[in-house]
Amino acid sequence: MLNQLHDMSHSSPNTCRLCGASLSQEPIIKLENVPCGAHVFPTKEQLNTDVAVNLNIYQCSSCSLVQLGGEQVTYADQVTSAHGYSPKMLEHRRKQADHFITQFHLNGKKVMEVGCGDGHFMELLAKAGAKPFGIEPSKKSVELGRQKGLPIQYGYMSKSSVVESAPFDAFVTMHVFEHISNPNEFLQAIYNNLTHDAMGLIEVPSFEKALEGQRIYDFLIDHLSYFTIKTLRFALEKNGFEILNIERDWDGEHIVAIVQKQEQNSLDQLSKSVEQLSQQLTEFIENYLSQGKRIAVWGASHHGMTLLSLAQPKGLAYVVDSSPHKQGRFTPASHLPIVPPSQLITDPVDAVIIMTPRFYDEIIQQLCTDIQFQGDIAVLNGNRLEFSN
C-alpha cells in the first residue's frame, strides 16, 4: 500500500467502536472495488502495486453509529487536507476561527488543534488572536507546518498522550474524528490535556447529507465512523463534554459542535466522604454516651439504614419511624429496634438524629409541637451532621 503505516483489516467487528454493543455478523452494505485510500495517488511506477479493497458497513442497533471495521489509515508522507486550496473554504475557515476565538474570549489563550495537518487552520487561529499548538500524525504535514514556524507535535492522541504546552484553554479538531478507530480514547485524550472549563470546536462530515442524497460514494476506507447529529452528540457527551451548540453547515455537508469540558465526578472523594461521615456519627454518639446521655435516630429510611450499617455505631437506644409497617421490627444489619414516635415520650432520650432528608421540617415540627421534645436535635445534611436551630 502506498505510503501507509498501517494496512486496514476488514474482518467483521464484534462490537460497536463507540458504545461497545454487539454488532451483527453481516454488514448492512457491502461495497467492492473501493480505492485503498482517499489520499493515495499512485505514480506510473506504482500502478502495478495499487489495489482496490472491499468495504463492509455496519450500524449499531444500540447507539445507531454507522461504521467500518478495522483500524485507521495513516499516511506517512502525504498532506491529507485539500481545504487550503479553495478560496471559498479558506474564507469560511477564517470566519470560523474568528468567531470561535471572539465568542469564547480566547484571545491570547492556548488552543490545541488535533489533526492539524500542515497548520493552515492554526494560522487562522493565530491571526484571530489565539496561541495555537498542533498535534499531527503525518510526518510530511508536521514538517511543512514547522517550516512555517508553527509549533506542531508529531504523534497521535491516545490514552496516555501528554501534549506539549498542556493544559489548553480550548481545542479544535476538523474532519479528524471520523478517521479514529477508538473515538472514546481519542476524546478522553483531548479531555485530559485541557483546563477544567475549556471550550472545543469539532467538525465532521454529515452522514445526514449522504442519506438525503443517497450518496453511496460517501463511504471510503479512511472514514471509520459516519456521524449524524445524534451520534456525534452521544459521543461527545459520553466523554465528558457539554454540547453548547450542534448544527449542520456548509450546505449541510458538515456537522459542527461547540462544546465545553465538564468536570467528571470523583468517586474517590465520595468514598472518603462515607468514611468521614461514619466517623463523625460515631464520635457524635460517643460524646453523648460519655456524658451518661441517651440518643436515638429518627427515620428507618434507606438513607439512615445504609449509614447505620456502614458506621455500626454502638449505644443507640432505638430508631423512631412513623410507619406502622416498620414499627416492632429491627433495622437491617445494625439490628436496632424500630419504635413509634410515642416512644420518645414514654422512654425519653437526650438527643435525636434525623436521617430522613426529605422530611426534616415535618419531623422537627412534630418533635417540638406534638412530642414537645426538650433535647438536642441533629440532622443529616449531605455528608455531615448539623444541629437544628
The CATH code of the domain that includes 326 is 3.40.50.720
Both 139 and 282 in a single domain?
Answer: no
Both 109 and 225 in a single domain?
Answer: yes
pLDDT of residue 260 exceeding 60, the answer is yes
Both 230 and 272 in a single domain?
Answer: no
32 found inside a domain? no
208 found inside a domain? yes
Q: How far apart are CA 284 and CA 297, in angstroms?
A: 12
Least confident of 141-145, 229-233, 382-386: 382-386
pLDDT of residue 13 exceeding 80, the answer is no
Do the beta carbons of residue 92 and residue 250 sit within 8 Å?
Answer: yes
Tell me the backbone φ, ψ of residue 346, rounded to 5 degrees. Answer: -80, -25
- DSSP annotation of 375 reads S
110 found inside a domain? yes
Query: Which has the closest alpha carbon to 81: 31, 44, 122, 48?
Result: 122
pLDDT of residue 76 exceeding 70, the answer is no
Both 215 and 286 in a single domain?
Answer: no
Both 242 and 271 in a single domain?
Answer: no
Both 314 and 245 in a single domain?
Answer: no
Q: How far apart are CA 80 and CA 176, in angstroms?
A: 10
59 found inside a domain? no
DSSP labels for 24-36? Answer: -SS-SEEEEEE-S
pLDDT of residue 3 exceeding 60, the answer is no
50 found inside a domain? no
Both 123 and 247 in a single domain?
Answer: yes
Q: What is the span of the domain harbouring residue 283?
A: 267-387
Q: What is the pLDDT of residue 107?
A: 98
Least confident of 28-32, 34-38, 297-301, 364-368: 34-38
- β pairing state of 168-174 and 194-205: parallel
Both 169 and 212 in a single domain?
Answer: yes
Q: What is the pLDDT of residue 78?
A: 56
Both 278 and 257 in a single domain?
Answer: no
Q: What is the pLDDT of residue 75?
A: 56
98 found inside a domain? yes
Q: What is the pLDDT of residue 265?
A: 67
Both 131 and 208 in a single domain?
Answer: yes
Q: What is the CATH number of the domain that holds 175?
A: 3.40.50.150
Q: Which residue has the higher pLDDT, 231 or 277?
A: 231
Rg, Å, the chain Cα set: 31
Query: Which has the closest alpha carbon to 83: 111, 35, 123?
Result: 123
**What is the average pLDDT score of the chain?**
90
Both 235 and 361 in a single domain?
Answer: no
Q: What is the pLDDT of residue 147?
A: 97
Average confidence (pLDDT) over 286-312: 92
* 3-state class (DSSP) for residue 124: helix
pLDDT of residue 363 exceeding 80, the answer is yes
Number of domains present in the structure of the chain? 2
Q: Which residue has the higher pLDDT, 83 or 14?
A: 14
Average confidence (pLDDT) over 41-45: 85
pLDDT of residue 301 exceeding 60, the answer is yes
Q: What is the pLDDT of residue 46?
A: 85
- DSSP annotation of 357 reads G
How many secondary structure helices (H) and strands (E) does the chain include?
10, 17
Per-residue pLDDT tens digits for 121-138? 999 999 999 999 999 999
323 found inside a domain? yes
Q: Which residue has the higher pLDDT, 385 or 167?
A: 167
Domain boundary among 233, 261, 289: 261
Q: What is the pLDDT of residue 270?
A: 72
Both 231 and 209 in a single domain?
Answer: yes
Q: What is the pLDDT of residue 276?
A: 87
Domain boundary among 261, 282, 305: 261
Residues in the chain, how many? Answer: 389
Query: Which has the closest alpha carbon to 319: 335, 301, 338?
Result: 338
30 found inside a domain? no
Domain boundary among 261, 283, 304: 261
Determine what percent of the chain is predicted with pLDDT higher than 90: 71
